[in-house]
């Protein structure tokens, strides 16, 4: 896959993966990809834990399930993220950002706007939405062949100092390297952020399961697996291939003056592929095997 095509087609995979372990060769390729990222003074502050043991994956899945239920029931999730939800094409086209909820169970479709609000949390609970989503989440995580924990050394990750910022930047670049490499060989990735969102001891339970010592900070968890192009979409699903127009996030000469170039970019001719595990309602789903995207 060409670089620009790979960049434009990198996707979050929120469907089930194939029931197939990831080969050592592929895992090593992903982790080595991280090491080619830049880092301040070539410090390479990233550390990774590759988790394949079924029991450990199950335990992390369990924490994610409890976290999802807690976060949804408390309503904090809706309060924090309501501004990102879009419910129709007009809204998504106008903003160019956010999460377009384009698949909802029929029973709640007419109430979408209301339900995805802080007040709607009560309705959600009545309709058992938090429990359904929590179970979905647990199944997705437990059935993923690999969970990747991403850490920084506390030598470098000192949040009040420049090295805290630098190491976080470097880690973001390392993660993007992993992600692009993964998608290019038919492997999908999804953040597991809910335990962090839930607060309390949820994240610490994950930290304990990963065996992270005091000298290191666990920054993120991901579930990883081979993309199943025929996977069923989750109960409540979203698409987020949309991006803002360049004038909405890039300025000319001075901040606040939108840059409106006449030239098209090299991305213009590249279309979104629908084979990376995420789906767009505008385009038909195509059948593909993980090896289809290997080139
Ligand atoms: C810090 C961070 C946390 C995220 N947490 C989650 C998450 O918990 N679950 C999830 O499905 N996606 C998560 N995402 C992925 C975003 O939702 C996704 O990148 C965005 O909607 C754009 O979609 P795309 O990755 O397919 O381009 C996270 C992304 C970032 C950068």
SS3 of residue 237 by DSSP: strand
Which helix H or strand E contains 121, and what residues bound it?
helix 121-126
> How many C-beta atoms surround the C-beta of residue 203 within 10 A?
19
- E strand segments, the chain: 46-51, 85-86, 99-103, 146-153, 187-191, 216-226, 237-239
Is the confidence at residue 277, as pLDDT, over 50?
no
Whether residue 11 has its Cβ less than 6 Å from ligand 1? yes
Which ligand 1 atom sits closest to the C-alpha of 238? 21
Segment 35-50 shows an average pLDDT of 98
Give residue-wise pLDDT tens across range 54-110: 999 999 999 999 999 998 888 777 778 889 999 888 999 999 999 998 888 777 777
Which ligand 1 atom sits closest to the C-alpha of 10? 27
What was the pLDDT predicted at 142? 98
Report the alpha-carbon distance of residue 253 to residue 274 in Å, rounded.
Answer: 37
Ligand 1 center–CA 14 separation, angstroms = 10
DSSP 2: -
Give residue-wise pLDDT tens across range 125-137: 887 888 888 999 9
Report the alpha-carbon distance of residue 228 to residue 187 in Å, rounded.
Answer: 9
287 vs 100: which has the higher pLDDT:
100
Going from the N-terminus, what domains does the chain have, and what CATH number goes with each?
3-279 (3.40.109.10)
Whether residue 240 has its Cβ less than 6 Å from ligand 1? yes
Whether residue 190 has its Cβ less than 6 Å from ligand 1? yes
> Per the structure block, which two tokens stand in for 21?
């372990």
Whether residue 9 has its Cβ less than 6 Å from ligand 1? no
Whether residue 191 has its Cβ less than 6 Å from ligand 1? yes
For tokens 């025929």, name the residue.
230
């Amino acid at each position: 896959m060409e670089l620009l095509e790979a960049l434009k087609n990198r996707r979050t995979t929120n469907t089930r993966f194939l029931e197939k372990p990831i080969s050592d060769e592929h895992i090593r390729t992903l982790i080595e990809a991280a090491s080619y990222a830049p880092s301040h003074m070539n410090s390479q502050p990233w550390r990774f834990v590759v988790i394949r043991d079924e029991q450990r994956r199950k335990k992390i899945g369990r924490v994610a399930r409890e976290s999802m239920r807690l976060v949804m029931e408390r309503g904090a999730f809706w309060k924090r993220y309501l501004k990102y939800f879009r419910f129709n094409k007009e809204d998504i086209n106008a903003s160019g950002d956010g999460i377009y909820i384009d698949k909802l169970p029929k029973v709640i479709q007419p109430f979408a706007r209301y339900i995805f609000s802080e007040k709607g949390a009560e309705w959600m609970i009545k309709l058992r939405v938090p429990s359904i989503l929590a179970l979905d989440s647990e199944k997705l995580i437990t059935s993923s062949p690999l969970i990747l924990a991403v850490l920084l050394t506390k030598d470098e990750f000192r949040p009040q100092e420049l090295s805290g910022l630098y190491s976080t930047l470097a880690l973001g670049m390392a993660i993007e390297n992993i992600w692009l490499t993964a998608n290019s060989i038919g492997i999908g990735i999804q953040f597991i952020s809910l335990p962090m969102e839930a607060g309390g001891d949820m994240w610490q339970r994950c930290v304990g399961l990963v065996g992270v010592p005091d000298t290191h900070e666990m920054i993120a968890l991901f579930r990883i697996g081979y993309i199943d192009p025929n996977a069923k979409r989750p109960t409540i699903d979203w698409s987020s291939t949309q991006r803002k127009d360049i004038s909405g996030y890039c300025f000319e000469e001075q901040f606040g003056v939108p840059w409106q170039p006449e030239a098209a970019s090299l991305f213009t001719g590249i279309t979104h592929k629908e084979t990376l595990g995420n789906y767009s309602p505008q385009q038909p789903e195509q059948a593909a095997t993980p090896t289809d995207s290997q080139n």
